[in-house]
Amino acid sequence: MKPAPFTRHVPRTVDEVVSALAEFAPLDGRILAGGQSLVPIMAFRMARPAHLIDINEVEGLDRLAVDGDYLSIGARVRHGAFHKPVIDGPLGKLLAFVVSHIAHYPIRMRGTFCGSLAHADPASEWCLVAATLDASLVVKSVRGERIVPVTDFLEGIMSTSLAEDEFLAEARLPLLPDDTKFGFYEFSRRAGDFAMSAALVTYRLVDGVIADAHVGIGGAEDRARRILEAEDVLNGNAPSPDLFVAAGEAAANAIEPLEDIQTTAEYRCDLVRAVTRRALERSLL
Amino acid sequence: MTVHTKGSGTTWVGRSIRRLEDPALVTGRGRFTADMPATHWVRFVRSSVAAGTIENITAPERAGIVTAKDLAKLKPIRPMLSKFNYVAVGQPILADGVVRFTGESIAAVYAPSKDQAEDIADQVEVEISEGAPLIDAMDALAEGAPLVHADTKHNVIVEGRIATPGFEDVWKTAHKVLHVEARSHRQNATPMETRAGHAAYDGSTGRVTLTCTTQMPHLTRTAVCDILGIPESDLRVVAPDVGGGFGQKMSLAPEYVLLVWLARKLRSSVAWTEDRRENLIASFHSRDQHVQLEGAFDKSGKLLALRGDIVANIGAYSCFPTTCGVEPLMALAELPGPYDVRAYDCRSRGVMTNTCPMAPYRGVSRPVITFVLERLMDKAAAAFGIEPTELRRRNLIDKFPYTSATGLVFDDGSYKETMEMAIKAIDLDAFRKRQKIARDAGRYLGIGFATFSERTGYGSPAFAARGMEITPGFETVYLTIDPSGFVEARIGSSPHGQGLRTSLAQIIADEIGIDPEFIKVVHGDTDRSPYGWGTFASRSLVLSGGASLLAAQKIRAKLLKMASHFLEAAPEDITLQSGSAHVIGTDRSVTIASMARAAYHQTHIFKGEIEPGLTETGTYDPSGTFSNACHVAIVEVDIETGRVEMEKFLVVEDAGLIINPMIADGQVHGGVAQGIGNALLEEIIYDETGNILTSTLADFLPPTTHEIPEIELHHVETLTGNSITKAKGLGEGGAIGAPAAVISAINDALSPFGISIDEMPATPQRIRAALRSSGKLPSNGKLA
């Protein structure tokens, strides 16, 4: 339970981060943010980075603020920052609701929003939020900066489009219109465990019918993503129990379920059907 | 809510005094093995494959490494059983040419720090030519299956059968026959503190002190010395504060033998702290059983006969000292449980596989057999169209002593009374109404009852029936009032969280008239404690408590004699209370402290009529006593996801006289929590290659406070002649009854679907799969 030997680098600025990354990434270097996923994996020696570039001392990366029409979340912003709504309106409430499902309190005080995205665990609640809300990710390297839509960022199980020398400096979540409704539901074996399926939905009611529906599913496929088939079922229709059942059915039919020794594809689809409908039911509470 | 039949009074026994062990533990002053500094730290190189032959071991240059060839003079661990077709197999301290399970130690490396030791271990390369592993016991039973140990004829190494005369004649008279095919999956006891050992060589005496997280210090000493071929006087074994054991720490860890050997070789101190992954893959496992059970009932629902077949997967080796017979033979002897059934025919086998060895875990086989037997009773109740409790009412034993079909003698108990109390306390009729309303609304609530007996506090006669070469039994207590007037009780039991120091102090206090706070209970040190068997099998309160009482009675008699001398009164006119001897009805008294001083320093005043000193010995070896309880679980099953929500748990427990109600409640709470985990969450999963997929606590899932509901607890106190303190054991009962109650409740909830969940743990995946197979599952969540 002791990690393999490594060298820790402690940059103070973003420039130092990217130059350290340029130098050490080719030598098996990785970013260390909250360490709540990376450090346990290192303790099991399943990951053996030779260099860790620790960004916990970098100035400015703890910035959490509204810039125009999006919420900017810096690479050092911890899960715990969202325990209370960070902004007025539905987005702050949504994040505060979702965050309570992430692991346990001590982990939330250390782990980071961007770290979750960069780690890209399929069951990550923040990956689900980013996917459902069409987040943009600000990626930096010595080569400059690029802004990547979440659909191009999340590539698979613990896999992203980050190049070796790039780090995720900031996540941008679009602000939600004030009349946005949202619902979240996740299924896990115990409180705080990885979700075996989770659903996040947002939509607006325009003249009593659903508009701009986003249905995100996490924990069920190799990455969190919006399920357009379920959104199509919802848009243009008034909320009803039957509609929500139909949306759950559409989501279950649309996914390519992950399987493991305990969880068959059929069971994963059962869960997706249930969590989707329940997230929708909760959106009306 | 907790209701006690007793909770205060003029005696110390029966009162919920605060635990004497807690001030140190809750202020961070507990002393645990892993806290000790050492010169060398050991890391074990463990097999990554389940079966194979070691071709080559390559270590980095100058690494401190031990392999089997260094240990050629050591005997293997070879626990013996003289019955039940037992085949003795040996376990080498380090794998000697052959590996038999994933996680088996192949080499030990040592270095000045844990980190360095792990780095070196990482660089040790082991070439293994892989064989075909046997993982499931049923595969190991198959004709032509490979042998886990080449020197045996087959993989069954222990087999017992009990058949009552005339069984078939009784069977033929059955009105109904019910059948259960049950599966209990493999579990790990998961104590909070993993195993740890520290061996320090003393240059001046040549002795080694082994500090380790054991439940059995003296047996550890005996075993290690036998294997190394050294006198027991050359080894001291200390169990300091131990953070839970649940049976996993009562079997000999080969790792400890290695530590003592290495400390002697290096003439230094060496230490090892097991990490959680090692604990989950290579410490002991339990409960991996297949059970077939058939019950024959007459027209009235009376159980006439039981026919069973038990297959216990005992892993790659036989555990010391109980042997691998512990699970299959316990199941064989105790399967009929608390029910009056005269005809019994059962076969039980322990089968070797390429998996981690089995060892006792809280309840041993009884959580499994209780779950299976209670499934049978529930199925029978359904077949007869009566409440499950009514069927139990017709079958529970109620005349004592009762000699079972397997020859066990049940002392006085309250099998029916506890169930009737539970029915009333949970309000079964009200629940049935609530259940119906919920069902109509598409919600599935269920209630489950488990009634069971728990054999506790048994001495050598009971263990002798098993034919173990090492037959546990007696406990001894040395009780001393020293010249300072303080009391020291040195015990052979080895508590590790049970609060035994407090409970024994309460028993002693009442006898000798000295408050518990002045009574120190010393345990877990072979230099200080009398030879004893440690703490397991719900025995310590009964045996050590009985021995404490016997020793205290002798001290009391001596104190009265001394007081009679000082106070010039007859001993029968004197009482001992609050540290003094008083002449009843007068104001004449003398302090016990001053008498203690005189017993050592003023012996001449007794003119040879009283022996000097104030130490007495008590030894107790009883036949054993049966505790009993009724557990009730209320659950809600989410039929869409298969998830089980625990709504409520209720226990009516009869463990005889309760010494400290708070401690007794804590034992039941902890056992129930573990039982709920067993029923719903905990499972060690091997893949087909013998690799463990549940090697972290993110995959192997003990319950947390979120998963444990309110537990309502009631006590009945049946006073037995089989325990001189009138206390029965209760360490395991919580874990024995809870799985059965939970699984029964799940089946009750799902009764509209006509399915039966006969598997433990009842995971959401399994429940949902069973629901799907019912064909009665509509997509809108409501029954068709």
Considering the domain architecture, whether residues A130 and A74 belong to the same structural domain is answered as: yes
Cβ neighbours of B638 in A, within 8 Å: 274
Q: Name the residue in chain A with its Cα closest to that of B677.
A: A190
Per DSSP, the three-state class of B677 is: helix
Mean pLDDT of chain B: 95
**Residues in Cβ contact with B635 at an 8 Å cutoff, skipping those fewer than 6 apart:** B445, B446, B448, B644, B645, B646, B647, B742, B745, B746, B749
Span B436-489, pLDDT tens digits: 999 999 999 999 999 999 999 988 888 888 888 888 889 999 999 999 999 999
Cβ neighbours of A199 in B, within 8 Å: none
Number of H helices, E strands in chain B: 19, 32
Judge contact between B735 and B626, C-beta under 8 A: no
Do residue B765 and residue A249 have CB atoms under 8 angstroms apart? no
Q: Report yes or no on A86 lying in a domain.
A: yes
Q: Which of A1, A266, A273 sits opposite B275 (nearest CB)?
A: A1
**Within an 8 Å CB–CB cutoff, is residue A41 touching chain B?**
no
Q: ∠ at Cα B498 (B617, B557), nearest 5°?
A: 25
Can you tell me the distance from the alpha carbon of B715 to that of B542, in angstroms, rounded to the nearest whole number?
A: 17
Q: Report yes or no on A114 lying in a domain.
A: yes
Q: What angle do helix axes B764-774 and A265-283 make, rounded to 10 degrees?
A: 100
Distances (CA, A) of B182 to A81, B552, B703, B768: 48, 48, 23, 18
Q: Report yes or no on A188 lying in a domain.
A: yes
Do residue A261 and residue B681 have CB atoms under 8 angstroms apart? no
pLDDT truncated to tens, each residue of chain A (285 aa)?
Answer: 889 999 999 999 999 999 999 999 999 999 999 999 999 999 999 999 999 999 999 999 999 999 999 999 999 999 999 999 999 999 999 999 999 999 999 999 999 999 999 999 999 999 999 999 999 999 999 999 999 999 999 999 999 999 999 999 999 999 999 999 999 999 999 999 999 999 999 999 999 999 999 999 999 999 999 999 999 999 999 999 999 999 999 999 999 999 988 899 999 999 999 999 999 999 998
What pLDDT was estimated at residue B780?
Answer: 54
Do residue A5 and residue B119 have CB atoms under 8 angstroms apart? yes
Indicate whether B1 pLDDT > 60.
no
Q: Report yes or no on A191 lying in a domain.
A: yes
**Within an 8 Å CB–CB cutoff, is residue B779 touching chain A?**
yes
Judge contact between A89 and A178, C-beta under 8 A: yes
Give which of A28, A31, A27 is closest to A14, Cα–Cα: A31
Can you tell me the distance from the alpha carbon of B707 to that of B676, in angstroms, rounded to the nearest whole number?
A: 8
Judge contact between B210 and B224, C-beta under 8 A: yes
Can you tell me the distance from the alpha carbon of B65 to that of B75, in angstroms, rounded to the nearest whole number?
A: 20
Q: How confident is the model over B194-213, as a mean pLDDT?
A: 98
Considering the domain architecture, whether residues A17 and A72 belong to the same structural domain is answered as: no
- Indicate the range of A172-176, B207-211, B531-535 predicted with least confidence: B531-535
Mutation site for B-interface testing, chosen from A101, A102, A187, A253 by largest number of B Cβ within 10 Å: A187
User: Per-residue confidence at B781, pLDDT binned at 50, 70, 90?
Assistant: very low
| Residue at which a domain ends, from A142, A173, A204 | A173
Judge contact between B251 and B360, C-beta under 8 A: yes
Q: How confident is the model over B417-423, as a mean pLDDT?
A: 98
What pLDDT was estimated at residue B3?
Answer: 35
Indicate whether B9 pLDDT > 90.
no
**Residues in Cβ contact with B657 at an 8 Å cutoff, skipping those fewer than 6 apart:** B13, B14, B717, B719, B725, B726, B727
Indicate whether B6 pLDDT > 60.
no
Give which of B313, B37, B9 is closest to B183, Cα–Cα: B313
The arrangement of strands across the sheet holding B625-638 comes to B2-3, B711-716, B643-654, B625-638, B444-456
CA distance A186 to chain B (A): 11
Indicate whether B600 pLDDT > 50.
yes
What are the backbone dihedrals phi and psi of residue A155, each rounded to the nearest 5 degrees, phi first?
-110, -25
What pLDDT was estimated at residue B317?
Answer: 98
What pLDDT was estimated at residue B779?
Answer: 61
The size of chain A, in residues, is 285
Q: Report yes or no on A270 lying in a domain.
A: yes
Domains and CATH numbers, chain B: 33-131+195-273 (3.90.1170.50), 285-460+623-774 (3.30.365.10), 474-620 (3.30.365.10)
Q: Which of A2, A190, A261 sits opposite B707 (nearest CB)?
A: A190
Give which of B36, B495, B31 is closest to B244, Cα–Cα: B495
**Residues in Cβ contact with B143 at an 8 Å cutoff, skipping those fewer than 6 apart:** none
**Helix, strand, coil tally for chain B in percent (to 5):** 30, 25, 40
Look up tokens 């992203």; give the residue: A160
Indicate whether B669 pLDDT > 50.
yes
What pLDDT was estimated at residue A219?
Answer: 97
**Within an 8 Å CB–CB cutoff, is residue B768 touching chain A?**
yes
Can you tell me the distance from the alpha carbon of A97 to that of A74, in angstroms, rounded to the nearest whole number?
A: 20
User: Tokens at residue A264, please?
Assistant: 């068959």
The arrangement of strands across the sheet holding A64-67 comes to A64-67, A70-74, A167-174, A136-141, A144-149
Considering the domain architecture, whether residues A160 and A196 belong to the same structural domain is answered as: no
Considering the domain architecture, whether residues A278 and A249 belong to the same structural domain is answered as: yes
Do residue B703 and residue A273 have CB atoms under 8 angstroms apart? no
Span B129-163, pLDDT tens digits: 999 999 999 999 999 999 999 999 999 999 999 99
Q: Name the residue in chain B with its Cα closest to that of A194.
A: B698
| Residue at which a domain ends, from A151, A173, A195 | A173
Mutation site for A-interface testing, chosen from B186, B639, B641 by largest number of A Cβ within 10 Å: B641
| Amino acid code (one letter) for A123 | A
Considering the domain architecture, whether residues A186 and A161 belong to the same structural domain is answered as: no
Q: How confident is the model over B518-544, as a mean pLDDT?
A: 95
User: Could you write out the DSSP letters of every residue in chain A?
Assistant: --PPP-EEE--SSHHHHHHHHHHHGGGTEEEESS-TTHHHHHHTTS---SEEEEGGG-TTTT-EEEETTEEEEETT-BGGGGSS-SSSSHHHHHHHHHHTTSS-HHHHTT-BHHHHHHHT-TT-HHHHHHHHTT-EEEEEETTEEEEEEHHHHEEETTEES--TT-EEEEEEEEPPPTTEEEEEEEE-SSTTSPPSEEEEEEEEEETTEEEEEEEEEESSSSS-EE-HHHHHHHTTS---HHHHHHHHHHHHHH------SS--HHHHHHHHHHHHHHHHHHHT-
**Within an 8 Å CB–CB cutoff, is residue A240 touching chain B?**
no
User: Could you write out the DSSP letters of every residue in B487-521?
Assistant: EEEEES---SSS-HHHHHHHHHHHHHT--GGGEEE
Judge contact between B14 and B7, C-beta under 8 A: yes
| ipTM of predicted complex | 0.95
What are the backbone dihedrals phi and psi of residue B666, each rounded to the nearest 5 degrees, phi first?
-60, -40
Judge contact between B64 and B258, C-beta under 8 A: no
What pLDDT was estimated at residue B462?
Answer: 84
Indicate whether B783 pLDDT > 50.
no
Peptide bond connecting B191 to the previous residue in cis, omega within 30 degrees of 0: no
Which CB contacts under 8 angstroms, 24+ apart, belong to B585-591?
B590/B563, B590/B566, B591/B485
Do residue B685 and residue A2 have CB atoms under 8 angstroms apart? no
The enclosing domain of A237 has a CATH number of: 3.30.390.50
Can you tell me the distance from the alpha carbon of A113 to that of A126, in angstroms, rounded to the nearest whole number?
A: 7
Cβ neighbours of A187 in B, within 8 Å: 641, 643
Considering the domain architecture, whether residues A24 and A90 belong to the same structural domain is answered as: no
The enclosing domain of A12 has a CATH number of: 3.30.43.10
Judge contact between B657 and B724, C-beta under 8 A: no
CA distance A13 to chain B (A): 31
Indicate whether B8 pLDDT > 50.
no
Do residue B114 and residue A2 have CB atoms under 8 angstroms apart? yes
Number of domains into which chain A is organized: 3
Considering the domain architecture, whether residues A169 and A219 belong to the same structural domain is answered as: no
Indicate whether B589 pLDDT > 80.
yes
The two beta strands, A167-174 and A159-160, are unpaired
The upper half-sphere exposure of residue B472, i.e. CA atoms within 13 Å in the direction of its Cβ, equals 24
Q: Report yes or no on A1 lying in a domain.
A: no
Indicate whether B222 pLDDT > 90.
yes
**Within an 8 Å CB–CB cutoff, is residue A46 touching chain B?**
no
Cβ neighbours of B114 in A, within 8 Å: 2
Q: Which of A2, A190, A194 sits opposite B115 (nearest CB)?
A: A2
Can you tell me the distance from the alpha carbon of B615 to that of B512, in angstroms, rounded to the nearest whole number?
A: 13
- Over pLDDT 90: what percentage of chain B? 95
| Residue at which a domain ends, from A145, A173, A201 | A173
Give which of A34, A28, A33 is closest to A5, Cα–Cα: A28
**Within an 8 Å CB–CB cutoff, is residue B707 touching chain A?**
yes
Can you tell me the distance from the alpha carbon of B684 to that of B699, in angstroms, rounded to the nearest whole number?
A: 9
Per DSSP, the three-state class of B526 is: coil
Judge contact between B559 and B582, C-beta under 8 A: no
Q: Which residues pair with B403 in a beta bridge?
A: B409
The two beta strands, A154-156 and A159-160, are antiparallel
Considering the domain architecture, whether residues A22 and A95 belong to the same structural domain is answered as: no
Considering the domain architecture, whether residues A211 and A257 belong to the same structural domain is answered as: yes
What pLDDT was estimated at residue A58?
Answer: 97
Considering the domain architecture, whether residues A33 and A97 belong to the same structural domain is answered as: no
**Within an 8 Å CB–CB cutoff, is residue A270 touching chain B?**
yes
Can you tell me the distance from the alpha carbon of B520 to that of B507, in angstroms, rounded to the nearest whole number?
A: 13
Query: Which residue range is the domain that position A18 belongs to?
Result: 7-57
Considering the domain architecture, whether residues A151 and A83 belong to the same structural domain is answered as: yes
What are the backbone dihedrals phi and psi of residue B140, each rounded to the nearest 5 degrees, phi first?
-70, -20
Q: Report yes or no on A2 lying in a domain.
A: no
- Over pLDDT 70: what percentage of chain B? 98
What is chain A's Cα-based Rg?
A: 19
Considering the domain architecture, whether residues A26 and A88 belong to the same structural domain is answered as: no
